[in-house]
Amino acid sequence: MQTIRRLAYCRAGLVGNPSDGYNGKTIALTMKNFHVEAELFPSPRMEILTPAHDSNQFASIDEMIDHINLDGYYGGDRLIKATIKTFVDYCDVQQSIEPELYHQPFTIRYSTNIPRGVGLAGSSAIVVATIRCLIENFQVTIPQPVQAALARYVENDELGIACGFQDRVAQVYEGLMWMDFTAMRIENDHLCGQYQPVDSSRLPPLYLVYNRRASKSSGKVHGALRNRIGDDNRMIGTMDQIAELVPPAREAIAAGNGGQLHALMDRNFDLRAELYDIRPTDLAMINTARDVGASAKFAGSGGAIIGTFTDEKMYRELCAAILRANPNWKIVRPVVA
């Protein structure tokens, strides 16, 4: 067995999030700007190696508490353990792995440059990259919709971290993806929605801004909302309105109508603000972008925003405004993976 390396890119929700967790619709993209790389290679014993930020060594109590606030009492190793278990459980049911292969130990490790705690799907990228390594290592075939469903199961069911389908679908398929979760189907005993690629060449210019000091777990955000939304008809109605933005957004992208997409993305955030308490720093990020004429909405669960701009002059103004507003904010231009 040779060393296997597989990537998974970060995800940014373009329109419709967070309705994916509530049988809604979304359009999302993966970005080459940031990724996770998982590496699997033979070894005498089974071992999971973690990067420095998962270490249990800290410079101070403050640094340890910051780590706990972001990751809880576990790091990325729990994601890998849960992924391996979920993968093996699935393959056992499908009877797709030769029994002797289970006795061939390996080491797996990952590295990441995805900004942490800003809603760019860094944890699901670890899971997806690990699944890709396991598929190659055990030479099994798993349909893409099922890969996404397994990746969600790892966090939502195995680890109890509240999450939707969007991130995993986008990262498994890559590129710009349309996703419909209104009529889920069963494939290989797993829930799957309807997924189709969208031509990313028709997108207007995009920017992404993230807060390097945001540090917030998306599971805490989505879990709190699920507890609140319950049977609240008003909140359910608002989530439905967010999902209803997706069909016209898909049409706007196909038509190259940047102005229409701009309005729909802004509306997405405004509706979301009716469901969540928006942190002052996140709201300031939104307003800073909108003040120069760009659209702005959350890329995920908060800490990063994505939007459209019209031309290079507006982008220069946006860069200058971001730099003035907060030294911890970083702006990049997404490269669709």
Residues labelled as active-site residues = 167
Evaluate whether 56 touches 16 at the Cβ level (below 8 Å): no
Q: Who contacts 14 (Cβ-Cβ below 8 Å, separation ≥6)?
A: 26, 27, 28, 29, 176, 249, 265, 306
Instruction: Round to whole Å and give the CA distance between 166 and 179.
Output: 7
In 3D space, the residue among 310, 325, 245, 278 whose CA is nearest the CA of residue 119 turns out to be 278
Instruction: Round to whole Å and give the CA distance between 14 and 179.
Output: 11
Instruction: Round to whole Å and give the CA distance between 13 and 294.
Output: 16
Evaluate whether 158 touches 82 at the Cβ level (below 8 Å): yes
Structure tokens at 335: 């490269």
